[in-house]
Amino acid sequence: METNFPNFGGHFEIDKKKDRLKTIADLESLDGFWNDTDNAAKIQKEKAVLEDVVNTYENIQSLFDDFGVLSDFAKEGDEASANEAITLSQKFLQSFSAAEQKVLLSGEVDSNNAIVNINSGAGGTESNDWAYMIQRMIFRWAEKRGFKIQMLDLQEGEAAGIKSATMLIQGPYAYGLLKSETGVHRLVRISPFDSNARRHTSFASVFVTPEVDDDIEIEILDKDLKIDVYRSGGAGGQSVNTTDSAVRMTHLPTGIVVTCQNERSQLQNKLQAMKVLRSRIYDMEMAKKREKEDAQLATQKKIEWGSQIRSYVLHPYKLVKDHRTDFEISAAENVLEGDLDDFMDAYLRWTVQQSIEAREQHQ
């Protein structure tokens, strides 16, 4: 039985990717390659993405080949092979779906790391706690994927939770996947802070931008920056920060404000803040470009209170629903523990469909 995916493999350009991986292996063996840490890091990032695609394809090919062999045995009356073929077909469909997702993650910066900013809405302790729950949800999702998480800034709430947090999530396609979380998230639950056990609605916003590589030109002039330094917050005792190491950076032309206080030195915090600022400016410029190219593209909705992208209902029933894709799931606890993949997949497919519909309307 002939078992191959000529169209599938061609779509992924597997041969080209394998050739590039061989080239990278040759580069790694050169004297001095690892001395240029910035260049080496970029190459390693590219290598991880290429290996991910190649391994995914080869896994699917292997499953398909094994399924073909078992199917032949099953046709000859081998019941055990028939049962194994059914199990294998389910694994194949799951793997194929994962590979299909990689086709959807073909944007210019989809493979980049992600900078995630979370802010609580109006409502004090309730919203602060909800913002913390979202931070934890994204943290758990990243952990399950083996991604590296670096906290860049954290503003704790007075009684509980957080007012805001900024995290750098490092891993293949981190931005392409996490961009689905940008928007307002709404929570409905019986408040643990209400002695009368009343139902409360809380809001928090998530803003995800790609970490921008240095080779992408973004001009930020010194005269356009207002930099304030202040004393970092934190625990008391020996761990309290006694120097003005925290940094608040304002980009005057755009009004973008970023803060960083989690590094030990003011210089380190400035570098991290600049990284976040570059990311935000890049995302803003790309949004303008997309809006100009297609004013009707539905993914460019403004992020504002009252236009939530997703609702999490914990009382009187349990349901998490994405209002863009209409995808919903009743296992709310699992979602809050980081099971976001189905929502991300639905979002990626939805954006493709929205783009197709918008282009058809212009034709």
300-307 average pLDDT score: 48
Q: What pLDDT is stored for residue 239 in this prediction? A: 43
Task: Name the more confident of 124 and 244.
Answer: 124
- For 227, phi then psi, to 5°, come to -115, 120
Task: Name the more confident of 328 and 38.
Answer: 328
137-151 average pLDDT score: 97
pLDDT band at 301 (very low <50, low <70, confident <90, very high): very low
Q: Which two tokens stand for residue 23?
A: 């080239």
Q: Which two tokens stand for residue 89?
A: 């077909």
**43-86 pLDDT per residue, tens:** 987 888 788 888 888 888 888 899 889 988 989 888 898 889 89
Q: What pLDDT is stored for residue 331 in this prediction? A: 96
Domains of the chain, by residue range, sit at 6-104, 114-362
**310-353 pLDDT per residue, tens:** 999 999 999 999 999 999 999 999 999 999 999 999 999 999 88
Assign residue 12 a region: left if phi > 0, alpha if psi is -120 to 50, beta otherwise? alpha
**Which architecture characterizes domain 6-104 according to CATH?**
Up-down Bundle (1.20)
Interatomic CA distance for residues 288 and 96, integer angstroms? 34
Evaluate whether 153 touches 166 at the Cβ level (below 8 Å). yes
Q: What pLDDT is stored for residue 38 in this prediction? A: 83
The distance in angstroms from the start CA to the end CA of the chain is 44
Strand order in the sheet with 319-322: 148-156, 162-170, 114-120, 199-210, 183-190, 310-313, 319-322, 328-329
Q: What pLDDT is stored for residue 124 in this prediction? A: 85
Rounded (5°) CA angle 205-209-211: 145
Interatomic CA distance for residues 357 and 263, integer angstroms? 46
pLDDT band at 215 (very low <50, low <70, confident <90, very high): low
Least confident of 90-94, 192-196, 281-285, 359-363: 359-363
CB burial readout 288-309, b (16+ within 10 A) else e: eeeeeebeebebeeeeeeeebb
Identify residue 200 by its one-letter amino acid code: H
C-alpha distances in angstroms, 216 versus 52, 210, 219, 268, 292? Answer: 24, 12, 10, 21, 21
- Whats the size of the chain, residue-wise? 363
pLDDT band at 11 (very low <50, low <70, confident <90, very high): low
CATH classification for the domain delimited by 114-362, as one of 3.40.50.1000, 3.30.70.260, 3.30.70.1660, 3.90.550.10: 3.30.70.1660
- For 71, phi then psi, to 5°, come to -65, -40
SS3 (DSSP) at 165: strand
90-118 average pLDDT score: 84
pLDDT over threshold 70, residue 88: yes
pLDDT band at 207 (very low <50, low <70, confident <90, very high): very high
* Cβ-based neighbours of 273, under 8 Å, separated by 6 or more: 152, 247, 248, 249, 258, 259, 260
Q: Quick one: what percent of the chain has pLDDT higher than 90?
A: 47
Which residue has tokens 């940094």? 247
pLDDT over threshold 60, residue 296: no
Q: Which two tokens stand for residue 45?
A: 């990032």
Interatomic CA distance for residues 299 and 290, integer angstroms? 10
pLDDT over threshold 50, residue 9: no
Sign of the dihedral defined by the CA atoms of residues 37, 38, 39, 43, in that order = positive
Q: What pLDDT is stored for residue 159 in this prediction? A: 86
Q: Which two tokens stand for residue 325?
A: 């894709």
**214, containing H or E segment:** none
Q: What does the mean pLDDT of the chain come to? A: 85
Sign of the dihedral defined by the CA atoms of residues 250, 256, 260, 265, in that order = negative
